[in-house]
């Protein structure tokens, strides 16, 4: 499969200084280390990167620094916004700053229907000169779960080349990846959700993960082992997967994933203040749990 959205795709936080400004040096380090470790792509300004909390000038700086730091590794950009006008403007700006692709959840004040989703992606495609787009499926948060039929429609008119789908939902039937592939054969089907990815879900066409930007070497090893299959027997990858699973569960247990990712970044050596939209800090117990897991990181 040829797609801009395959393999291991890392979603870094957007590091902040003490005053709340974007720390571009810290971002450069995160992206550069992820690229050097062998991730297949980097996505900035999506959920892990708290993209909706930055103005246009800040977003432009983030994209340009990430593109420069990533070298030959493609950089994708989350372009969510509160209106189609805002989304298309962000898509156009991302491409001008060097983005290799766009990641778009069908966000709106009210949930969109299928016709409105098709219209949104068509407008983004026109504004971004045909840059490849990934449908960021967030059914719990947005009230819309992309159907195989809708994905097929979006693929047929060229609006979408990939989908980022939750790896684990209570109501998700078995065989979801196969169903989406059958409906839209040319679309890269990717999975998100670090507890499921580290815990044993299938490799699919892509993994989209925030923790891969903070622990890229471990995630690259785990992804490679999962693609190779159990017969490969990589003990190092097994230890990395066990640690990543513990870390993913500790992050999820906080109930404040982006804030927790910022805390993990600090523990792993990347300075950052909490995200701008963090209204409630982590509890002391949550911070201690994260600290304990990070301290158990396997030796490289």
Each residue's pLDDT tens digit, 154-164: 999 999 999 99
Q: Give the CATH number for residue 214.
A: 3.20.20.70
The SS3 assignment for 102 reads strand
| pLDDT value at residue 111 | 84
Domain annotation covers residue 159 = yes
Number of domains in the chain: 1
Nearest residue to 198 via CA among 252, 275, 153, 155:
252
Using a cut of 0.75, tell me whether the model's pTM lies above it. yes
Return the bridge partners of 164, or none: 136, 190
**Separation between Cα atoms, residue 183 and residue 143, nearest integer Å:** 22
Q: Which domain holds residue 57?
A: 7-233
Domain annotation covers residue 206 = yes
Domain annotation covers residue 33 = yes
**pLDDT band at 1; cut points 50, 70, 90:** very low
Domain annotation covers residue 121 = yes
Considering just the CA atoms, what is the radius of gyration of the chain in Å? 18
Query: What confidence tens digit (pLDDT) does each residue in 228-275 have?
Result: 987 666 778 999 999 999 999 999 999 999 999 999 999 999 999 999
Domain annotation covers residue 282 = no
Domain annotation covers residue 79 = yes
Query: What confidence tens digit (pLDDT) does each residue in 39-70 have?
Result: 999 999 999 999 999 999 999 999 999 999 99
Measured at the alpha carbon of residue 84, what is the angle toward residues 83 and 90, in degrees to the nearest 5?
95
More confident residue, 295 or 171: 295
Domain annotation covers residue 283 = no
Domain annotation covers residue 47 = yes
Give the max Cα distance, the chain: 51
pLDDT at 190 over 70: yes
Name the burial class of residue 149, with classes exposed (0-12), middle (13-18) and buried (19+) by CB atoms within 10 angstroms of its CB.
exposed
- Encoded tokens for 101: 């692709």
Instruction: Report the phi/psi class of residue 73: left, alpha or beta, with left for phi > 0 and alpha for psi in -120 to 50.
Output: beta
Return the bridge partners of 22, or none: 16
| Half-sphere exposure (Cβ direction) of 53: Cα atoms closer than 13 Å | 20
């Amino acid at each position: 499969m040829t797609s801009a959205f395959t393999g291991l795709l890392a979603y870094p936080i957007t590091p902040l200084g003490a005053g709340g400004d974007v720390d571009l040096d810290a971002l450069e380090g995160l992206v550069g280390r992820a690229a050097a470790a062998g991730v297949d792509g980097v996505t900035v300004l999506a959920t892990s990167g708290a993209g909706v909390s930055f103005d246009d000038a800040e977003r432009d700086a983030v994209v340009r620094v990430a593109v420069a730091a990533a070298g030959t590794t493609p950089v994708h950009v989350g372009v969510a916004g509160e209106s189609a006008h805002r989304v298309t403007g962000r898509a156009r700006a991302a491409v001008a700053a060097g983005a290799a692709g766009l990641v778009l959840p069908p966000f709106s004040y009210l949930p969109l229907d299928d016709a409105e989703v098709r219209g949104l992606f068509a407008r983004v495609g026109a504004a971004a000169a045909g840059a490849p787009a990934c449908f960021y499926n967030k059914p719990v948060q947005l009230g819309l779960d992309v159907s195989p039929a809708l994905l097929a429609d979006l693929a047929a008119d060229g609006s979408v080349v990939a989908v980022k789908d939750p790896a684990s939902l209570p109501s998700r039937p078995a065989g979801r990846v196969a169903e989406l592939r059958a409906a839209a054969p040319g679309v890269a089907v990717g999975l998100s959700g670090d507890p499921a990815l580290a815990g044993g879900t299938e490799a699919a066409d892509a993994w989209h993960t925030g923790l891969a930007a903070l622990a890229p070497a471990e995630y690259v090893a785990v992804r490679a082992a999962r693609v190779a299959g159990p017969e490969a027997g990589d003990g190092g990858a097994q230890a990395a997967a066990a640690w990543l699973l513990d870390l993913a569960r500790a992050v999820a247990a906080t109930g404040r994933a982006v804030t927790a990712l910022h805390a993990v970044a600090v523990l792993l050596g990347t300075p950052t203040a909490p995200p701008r939209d963090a209204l409630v800090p982590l509890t002391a117990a949550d911070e201690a749990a994260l600290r304990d897991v990070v301290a158990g990181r396997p030796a490289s």
